[in-house]
Chains A and B, each alone.
Chain A
Amino acid sequence: MTAAASSRLRRPGLGTPVIIVGALLLVAVCLFPFVWMGLSSIKQLNELYTIPPRWWPDNPTLANYYKVLFQSRIPRYFLNSVIISVGSTGLALILAIFAANGFARFRFRGRSFWQAFILVGQLLPTAAIIVPLFITLKVLGLVNTYWGLILVYMIITLPLSVWMLTSYFKAIPIELEEAAIIDGASRVGILFRITLPLSMPGIVAVLVYAFITTWNEFIFALCFATDSTVKTLPIGLAEFSTEFNTDWGAIMAASMVMTIPIALLFLVFQKLFVGGLTAGATKG
């Protein structure tokens, strides 16, 4: 049979119809909620509340966006979210760079123990430590401050950042650093002049990961930021759905405002982001 000969040349696979149907189904399932969110956000009230629901708005409107951007606290929460996410991403990156350098380039007593300790942080049930964290932050006067949330977010960003960067640093040939040592460079000098420039993809992956996780975080923000001067967007959105209980158009517009920055950030950097994440997972 000719099939035997051609299978050497061509890998067998799923049939083309299966691939087409599967891919369309996958795209539809993943995108439909966003399409519906977008459509709902430009509908007027009377078009939102019709039975049966209507697919396309007859009179598209931007009134819902106007309400979100000019008549609610969402812009302020957006600012808070940016400050807290940038702050905790920066802090996590600095701490992770030094820690990953230590883990990747040195042998010291208890190294594997401390590496495991850092990873356990990623596996911790957050609900179990909310109460003592709250009390600790209260004693330190950090409840309802930017610093409180920035610090607490180290729990969710630092472990994976250290893990990802360690695997990136390990991949850099050690000969480069040895040559620099012979030339009299210091350890910190090597880190900043050789290791970091060579691991930019890893750095970007860590930045995007940390930013997305902190931008999306809900529970810690709900517990530790109850004042509107520090509330973040996720809390704002939850509040919004209680406050404007029946105004689903405005709620969907607020959801769009919150989704677009993070979706753009992800789509721009997705190759580096996914590469860094899967590298950390499959090598780790």
Chain B
Amino acid sequence: MRSNAGFVFVLPALIVLFMLIAYPVAYTGVLSVTNEQGQFTGLQNFADVLRPRVTTQALWNTLWWVGGSIVFQVILGVAAAILLNQNFVGRAIVRSIALIPWVIPGIVAATTWAWMFHTEFGIINHMLTGVGALDEPIGWLTRGNTVLPAMIAINVWKLFPFVAIMVLAGLQSIPQELYEAARVDGASYWDEVRHIMLPQIRPVITAVTLLLVIWALNSITIIYAITKGGPANRTLITPIQIFRLAFENVEFNQAAALSVMFFGIVMIIVFIYIRALANQPGDNQ
């Protein structure tokens, strides 16, 4: 059916999203090159926001946060999916339970894990010292070199179930003939994993990884709720820096300049990824 009626149906949603996305994005651009009085100042805001050392530090923290989260989310998610793809009694229940971390609010995950990581009264220190893995309790959330890994661990726990469920759907859509052909050739289970499952779910993994990158770049909740970026900016990631510049220092224009740079980097990542995704079908080696 070819008519403009279709566009009429789509229009309300487009107007709402345009108002909430396109306009703010354009407005950020304007804010980033003007001062509080609205006068054009060129690249002054960019220079101001790039000068402090903390901006570079936040960028490095962001890279660690995103990279560390994604590697473990994908590995654990794929492992859980391969497990859940097996037939065993109680599989449905295990699958439901495994999804709960992903469904519950980020702030609940943050507070509960903060309590578990508590230096004196936390159960994690108790368990680790109990089995002899630690000699004495560690201040996970107050020590500079443990706090970011702890945050990454929470983020991995929260999101690997999402990877698992998506990869599981991919595994279940693999044609049965592929397995049968492999079995005729005498393939073992691990041959199947390596030569059938992993190659077949590669598109799903690529798509899910893109979502995970975006979510990691957006996820302020866990870090903000536990450390607000501290101690000594060790967990300050760029989104939190933007938030604090805008709402704590009330430097809207500098926050906008940082937003523009952040936005640019994210869009480049998205673009590269979508290109990779588009090139994928067909190259089955």
Q: Which positions 81-134 of chain B face chain A at CB distance < 8 Å?
A: 82-83, 86-88, 90-91, 94, 96-101, 103-109, 111-116, 118, 120-123, 126, 129-130
A172 to B192 alpha-carbon distance, docked (Å): 35
- A118-B13, A154-B17, A274-B165 are known contacts. Are A30 and B100 too (CB-CB below 8 A)? yes
Question: B188 near A: Cβ within 8 Å?
Answer: yes
* Structural contact, A36 and B9, CB atoms closer than 8 A: no
Tell me what chain A mostly uses at the interface: helix, strand, loop, or mixed.
helix
A212 to B13 alpha-carbon distance, docked (Å): 20
Out of A125, A266, A282, which one reaches B262, CB within 8 Å? Answer: A125
- Residues of chain A with a CB closer than 8 A to B169's CB: 278, 281-282
Out of B107, B157, B179, B263, which one reaches A218, CB within 8 Å? Answer: B107
* Structural contact, B83 and A14, CB atoms closer than 8 A: yes
* Structural contact, B13 and A33, CB atoms closer than 8 A: no
* Structural contact, B105 and A259, CB atoms closer than 8 A: yes
The residue on A at minimum CB distance from B2 is A107
- Residues of chain B with a CB closer than 8 A to A109's CB: 7
Interface residues on A, range: 35 or more
A158 to B17 alpha-carbon distance, docked (Å): 8
* Structural contact, B8 and A102, CB atoms closer than 8 A: yes
* Structural contact, A219 and B220, CB atoms closer than 8 A: yes
- Residues of chain B with a CB closer than 8 A to A23's CB: 83, 88, 90-91, 94
Out of B2, B107, B115, which one reaches A238, CB within 8 Å? Answer: B107
- Residues of chain B with a CB closer than 8 A to A263's CB: 100, 103-104
* Structural contact, A135 and B252, CB atoms closer than 8 A: yes
* Structural contact, A258 and B105, CB atoms closer than 8 A: yes
Question: A70 near B: Cβ within 8 Å?
Answer: no
Question: A223 near B: Cβ within 8 Å?
Answer: yes
- A12-B183, A101-B9, A117-B14 are known contacts. Are A33 and B204 too (CB-CB below 8 A)? no
* Structural contact, B242 and A151, CB atoms closer than 8 A: no
Question: B148 near A: Cβ within 8 Å?
Answer: no
Q: Which positions 13-45 of chain B face chain A at CB distance < 8 Å?
A: 13-14, 16-17, 20-21, 23-25, 27-28, 31
Question: A31 near B: Cβ within 8 Å?
Answer: yes
* Structural contact, A262 and B105, CB atoms closer than 8 A: yes
- Residues of chain B with a CB closer than 8 A to A274's CB: 99, 165
- Residues of chain A with a CB closer than 8 A to B12's CB: 95, 98-99
A237 to B221 alpha-carbon distance, docked (Å): 12
* Structural contact, A133 and B218, CB atoms closer than 8 A: no
Interface size on B, residues (CB 8 A): 100
* Distance in Å: Cβ of A118 to nearest Cβ of chain B: 6
Q: Which positions 241-283 of chain A face chain B at CB distance < 8 Å?
A: 241, 248, 251-252, 255, 258-259, 262-263, 266-267, 270, 274, 277-278, 281-282
A248 to B117 alpha-carbon distance, docked (Å): 13
Question: A74 near B: Cβ within 8 Å?
Answer: no
Q: Mark A103-142, 1 if CB is under 8 A from B, else 0.
A: 1011111110010011011111111111111111000000
* Structural contact, A262 and B263, CB atoms closer than 8 A: no
Q: Which positions 244-271 of chain B face chain A at CB distance < 8 Å?
A: 246-247, 252, 255-256, 259-260, 262-263, 266, 270
Q: Mark A25-54, 1 if CB is under 8 A from B, else 0.
A: 011011101101100100000001111110
Question: B141 near A: Cβ within 8 Å?
Answer: no
A233 to B122 alpha-carbon distance, docked (Å): 25
The residue on A at minimum CB distance from B176 is A11
* Structural contact, B112 and A130, CB atoms closer than 8 A: no
* Distance in Å: Cβ of B18 to nearest Cβ of chain A: 8
* Distance in Å: Cβ of B199 to nearest Cβ of chain A: 16
* Distance in Å: Cβ of B7 to nearest Cβ of chain A: 5
| Chain A residues proximal to chain B, CB less than 8 Å | 4, 7-8, 11-14, 16, 19, 22-23, 26-27, 29-31, 33-34, 36-37, 40, 48-53, 95-96, 98-99, 101-103, 105-111, 114, 117-118, 120-136, 151-152, 154-155, 158-159, 162, 187, 212, 215-216, 218-219, 222-223, 233-234, 237-238, 241, 248, 251-252, 255, 258-259, 262-263, 266-267, 270, 274, 277-278, 281-282
Can you list 27 residue pairs at the A/B interface with Cβ under 8 Å? Answer: A4-B186, A26-B80, A26-B83, A26-B98, A29-B157, A33-B157, A53-B126, A102-B8, A105-B6, A106-B3, A106-B5, A106-B9, A107-B1, A108-B3, A108-B5, A108-B6, A111-B6, A117-B17, A127-B217, A127-B242, A129-B28, A132-B27, A132-B256, A219-B224, A259-B108, A263-B104, A281-B208
